Amino acid sequence: MNNLLYYNSPAKDWDSALPIGNGSLGAMCFGGVKVDRLQMNQESIWAGPPVPENIEGSYIYLDQATKYLQSGEYLKAQKILQNNFMGERISPRSYQTMGDLYINLDIDEEYINYRRELNIKNALVTTSWNILNKKFTKEYFSSYPENAIIHRTICNEPFSGTINYTRDGDVSVLYSQNGRIIINGQAEHNGEHRGIKFNSQVQIYIDRGELGCTENSLNFTNVTQLLLIIKCETNYYNDKIRPIVFSNISYSEILSRHVKEYQSYFNRMELEFYDQDENHIDKPTDIRLHYFKENPSPSLISLYFNYARYLLISSSRPDSLCANLQGIWNKDMEAPWNSDYHININIQMIYWFAEVSGLWDCHLPFLNYAESLLDNGKETSRIVYNSRGTVSHHTSDIWKFTAPCGEVEYGMWPLGSAWNSRHFMEHYIYTKDRVFLEKRAFPFIKENAIFLYDYLVEDISSKLLVFGPASSPENRFLDPKTGEICNISLGISMGQQIVKEVFTNYLSCLQILNISDEYHNLILDALYRLKPVEIGQDGRLLEWIEDFKESEPGHRHISHLYGLYPGVEYLNNEKYLLACEKTLYRRLKYGGGHTGWSRAWIVNLWARLQKPVECWKNLNALINESTLINLLDNHPPFQLDGNMGGASGILEMLLQYRDGEPVFLPSLPKELSHGYVKGLRLRNGSTLNMAWEDGLLTDIELLPSVI
């Protein structure tokens, strides 16, 4: 299998460093020779409150805005909501770096034979080089069993150097004679938004030579092995930070336990596309990327996919926090978008491929997080909307706020929790865990169904039910009367699609569990009265209730195609499939897909439309235009969703469903016509192995569920 990223030089910057992680502790490894940098993160180091708050009684203005929208007064509706309904967007209040560790070697000579690699089969970064007759090797990994970042440098001859730690903000550092660095800090922004406190410790072990310290560094002299074990505890889960304990076991045992535990996830699945020219595989990854534009390598697509699995395993474990916009890897004190949980597509996209790729337990942190918003969402529903059920909006973070905030363009969108609810149904569909359905999925879906039911209003012209007021993330249209930019309407297409999906899932839960409740008939009736999404005169699927002129026809969001992907509403409707296709062509004509995650979404959409030529064209664009040399997605800047969305699109090329039945290789490009997959999970709980040549199945095997 093609499982190596490798390079012939150290990382020049963060965007070329290599990531390691155990779900909660992560680091970017630069692989420097004389000066090596380890940029570290711990999942819960976030700046603190205040957070956006519910505006008491703002539903009065919501009623007024609804009346304006019903009479076509879009600007008036928008202004009243912006001025009276939206809470303050508070930024910066960011997820932050744990700091940087610098390992400095006393080296003056030139080095040769440099190699830096990440082996995603065993989650191990290795660098090596020669200086005269000295052979240096470094290894880096983040161990789940030890809950520690591990780094080792070895050499066949003695070497010396120093270690020092740096971080901006509120932090104190103590260098100890016994080979330990003790770091105490608190996430904050210039004395404000004081948040999580943390204690990090670096323990240094040597096999010979001496250790010493100054006020600003640890020193090691004439050693042949340098072992660093880095741990971190915070007060996110407990008022007091738990003491850090270092276990007394050998490096070989630490490494062995790490690989065994990691491979219990990674080995569940394999995917390989074969190159006609196998020389591609032996080239450094940055060179492979460079030549991909002119000579695309199928094996690089397999590496890209398997790397996405590596990233999910490394940033989302059953007992970790949900992966944020950057997973767990962030160098900044003020990250873009606070590196938060954007739940108007970005975080959901990270988990799109979790179930089908066999990482159902890596999906759990997202489900846990969605549930953690439930009670706050009920408060927001009651205070802000005067409604029942639960609601959340475009974003949140570890402080779990659910209030609408910021600009109506993105913030007036009460569908975050509703979108999250589809993941609960997906988890049940793939695991067939009836207890999960009864105790977690159904209650969550029901609370969202109740809110959506309360938020429906009657469309004056058709007398059917429409969702709103809301924006269509994060797009804008021109007011038909004034030509000014607007965001808010009733009956946005994405809203109609999500309402239909949530109501359908709610009713399916009742049927599967063989129960009924007081909302059954109400929601069933509302489902039948939902206004269908309209198709415009030019054959496109409309994004809003009217065929408005778009201010940005190439917008990065393609929200109105939710019913095609990730939803399933249109899969068996040729009329709507054709409308989705025309919509997508037009979006791309005007420059859509210009961010990494947006291009990844487009790959999934073309796959659902079973257009292999377009799948390949847009997968190429994702690799060529939105992928850094370390294969991380480039929004820009780096976001994890593009990697995961791209992986999801690749799986959609291999397996889809029509009328509940699996369809194999429905959108396979001819460029990927030779390959195999093992461990692909089906919706009946079983596992699929298959191989193909010249685009045709040659082997297929179904195995029972391993959960």
User: Do residues 185 and 131 make contact, with C-beta atoms less than 8 angstroms apart?
Assistant: no
* Per-residue DSSP letter, 590: T
Q: Count how many Cα atoms sit within 13 Å of the Cα of residue 518 in the half-sphere of its side chain.
A: 2
The candidate with the shortest Cα–Cα distance to 324, out of 649, 45, 561, is: 45
| pLDDT tens figures, 678-696 | 999 999 889 999 999 999 9
Q: Which residue, 368, 350, 358, 349, is CA-closest to 440?
A: 368
Q: What is the pLDDT of residues 611-669, one digit of tens each?
A: 999 999 999 999 999 999 999 999 999 999 999 999 999 999 999 999 989 999 999 99
Greatest Cα pair distance in the chain: 85
pLDDT of residue 276: 78
Task: Give the position of tokens 């100890």.
Answer: 176
Residues of the chain below pLDDT 50 = none
**What pLDDT score was predicted for residue 293?**
87
* Residue 176 β-bridge partners: 180
Classify 356 as helix, strand or coil. Answer: coil
* Cβ density class 501-511: b for 16+ within 10 Å, e for less: bbbbbbbbbbe
| Closest to 42 (Cα-Cα) out of 312, 171, 230 | 230
- Report the length, in residues, of the chain: 707
Tokens of 684: 């009946």
Pairing outcome for strands 675-681 and 687-693: antiparallel
192: left (phi over 0), alpha (psi -120 to 50) or beta: beta
Enclosing H/E stretch for 40: strand 35-42
Q: For residue 438, is it left (φ>0), alpha (ψ between -120 and 50) or beta?
A: alpha
Give the whole-angstrom CA distance, residue 487 versus residue 404. Answer: 15
Element (H, E) at 579: helix 574-589
Q: pTM for the full model? A: 0.97
Tens of pLDDT along 439-455?
999 999 999 999 999 99
- Phi and psi at 431, nearest 5°, equal -100, -20
Q: How far apart are CA 94 and CA 197, in angstroms?
A: 14
Residues 6+ apart with CB under 8 A from 651: 305, 353, 356, 357, 680
Please state, in angstroms and rounded to a whole number, the distance separating the CA atoms of residues 690 and 33. 44
| Residues ≥6 apart with Cβ < 8 Å to 87 | 52, 53, 54, 55, 403, 404, 405, 406
CB 606 within 8 A of CB 667: yes
pLDDT at 281: 73
Domains and CATH numbers, the chain: 4-47+97-267 (2.70.98.50)
- Cα–Cα distance list, 663 to 215, 420, 498, 695 (Å): 65, 26, 25, 14
For residue 350, with 0-12 CB atoms within 10 Å meaning exposed, 13-18 middle and 19 or more buried, which class applies?
buried
**Cα(121)–Cα(119) distance, rounded to whole angstroms?**
5
The CA-based angle 602-497-467, given to 5 degrees, is 130
> How many Cα neighbours within 13 Å face the side chain of 11?
25
- Alpha carbons 574 and 372: distance in angstroms, whole number: 39
Strand 99-105 relative to strand 112-119: parallel, antiparallel, unpaired?
A: unpaired
Look up residue 535 and give its DSSP letter. B
What are all long-range contacts of 55-59, with beta carbons under 8 Å and residues at least 24 apart?
Answer: 55/84, 55/85, 55/86, 55/87, 55/383, 55/384, 55/403, 56/383, 57/383, 58/84, 58/85, 58/384, 59/384, 59/385, 59/386, 59/387
